[in-house]
Copies of this chain bind each other. A is one copy, B any other.
Amino acid sequence: MFEVAKVGHRVDKQAFKAQRDALRVELLEAQRALRDSQIPVIVIVAGVEAAGKGEVVNRLNEWLDTRGVQTFAFWESSDEERERPRYWRFWRALPPRGEIAILFGGWYLAPIEERFGGVCDDAALDAELRRITDFERSLTLDGALVVKFWFHLSEADQKKRLKQLSGDPRSRWRMRPKKAKFSAQYQRFEAVAERVIRRTDSGLAPWYLIEAADRRYRDLTVGQTLLQAIRNRLQQPFPPESAAAPPSLDPPDSTSAPTSRLGQLDLTQTLEREAYKQALKRYQRELNELAWQAYKSRRSTVLVFEGVDAGGKGGAIRRLAQALDARLYRTIPIAAPTDEERAHHYLWRFWRQLPRAGHIIIYDRSWYGRVLVERVEGFASEPEWRRAYAEINDFEEQLAENGSILLKFWLHVSEEEQLRRFRERENTPHKQYKITDEDWRNREQWPLYKDAVDEMITSTSTEYAPWTLVEGDDKRFARIKVLQTVCDRLRAALGEG
């Protein structure tokens, strides 16, 4: 695979200057066009030790307008990063639409290092590479341009380069972990690199192998490749509808769906007043203790509430919050995205909000908006919400892998009960603000929502993040069911240790 990168291209000084000057003007122009477009650009700079990745990145920063470029190295991790899933730091690095982010290694660094170091085997590496592929597909289908450069040196060239570096006083104090190890293991590294590149090279996010032996050739090629990639992307329609088939999950055909889970709910269940008061006291006390236990065990909890309007989300959340120490939780109401959030992938804002270890985050509406209101109202196209199920499952899986405890609640009421509550709000002065035209409109759309909800539950109910359907006609019953479910789940999760 790397033979193509050992051809021995060279560029002399004169030719370099001429081409570089032209390239600079064109890159700046392309960057301006980018700014006007909706396209975020992610450049991954990876490759063998001593290939000069730092030099290349500095060169790019010189040629581009640095005001629209940000560079990220992932040397040092902060404790805030360590307390969150591994990809949190990468999501933070994603550029807003129209800007460029250059990542040293990015999400390739750790898998390569771990496989090379023997910390994981090929099977584990492949699993991580599948995650990378899904992640890059999600970004590119959302409109991003992902450009990946692999810088290669022959064994002889690398040896020569490393020798030069060790002699340079300035490089000695640069952070270069495990240099001796890499150079001594050239062959092994090449094997790992080949596996990684082969499995993550795709039409949407291709790898470009760059021969790094001659600096001028290397830098010019990178600049020209990046320029071409940007120009090609600018010419494509947005969003890239014609791109790769939607990922693994087969969405069920709603006409042949099994009986709707919602239809199976027995909404007549009630809980009488005295039993409610007893249960409320008991579960709130238990929840308070479990929350402190989770805090001490550094286990985060993510609670998601979705449901029909007037379904009781607010009331259920309040009974949870009442039981919790204010320092341990945060309630986040999800509504229309801000400018900054719209400039990113729809999941970006949720990644950003992930709490530090041991805290609880309660979502009043959530990322499921993608497959609910955005589907029904057409804010998201069909390819977009269809692929959202897998994107959401992957997001939640990463949270779970990081030790988070996830619960998702759909609060449901019958159409009659909903109408009754709507009327009650309209007729009660201090509750009138709660009922809007949008609520009535959503009610009319119920048949469409019903299909969306059924599909959502089927497609995203996983072992690590199950859906709990809550019979909401009786408020007391609903609140206790929510409290009890949260307690049971926390108890089980913390009990495991």
Interface size range of chain A in the complex: 35 or more
Query: Are A331 and B67 also in contact (CB < 8 A) when A61-B326, A321-B61 are?
Result: yes
Whether the pair B325, A28 counts as a contact (CB closer than 8 A) is no
A19 at the interface (CB under 8 A from B): no
Q: What is the count of identical protomers in the complex?
A: 2
B296–A173 contact, CB under 8 A? yes
- Residue of A29, A68, A331 with highest tally of chain B CB at under 10 A: A331
Cβ-closest chain B residue relative to A69: B331
A330 within 8 A of B: yes
Within 8 A of B (CB), among A285-337: 288-289, 292, 296, 317-318, 321-322, 324-327, 330-333
Q: Are B66 and A318 in contact (CB under 8 A)?
A: yes
Q: Is A364 an interface residue, CB under 8 A from the partner?
A: yes
Residues of chain B within 8 A of A325, CB atoms compared: 54, 58
Q: How far is the CA of A104 from the CA of B327 in the complex (A)?
A: 9
Task: Flag whether A253 is at the interface (Cβ < 8 A).
Answer: no
Q: Cβ of A164 < 8 Å from any Cβ of B?
A: no
> Does B292 lie within 8 Å of A66, measured CB to CB?
no
Given contacts A60-B326, A71-B327, A79-B79, 19 further A-B pairs with CB under 8 A are A25-B430, A29-B430, A54-B325, A54-B327, A61-B321, A61-B326, A62-B321, A66-B318, A66-B321, A66-B331, A67-B331, A70-B330, A71-B330, A75-B327, A80-B80, A170-B289, A173-B296, A338-B339, A338-B340
**A interface residues with partner B (beta carbon < 8 Å):** 25, 28-29, 32, 54, 57-58, 60-62, 66-71, 73, 75, 78-80, 102, 104, 170, 173-174, 288-289, 292, 296, 317-318, 321-322, 324-327, 330-333, 338-340, 356, 364, 430, 433
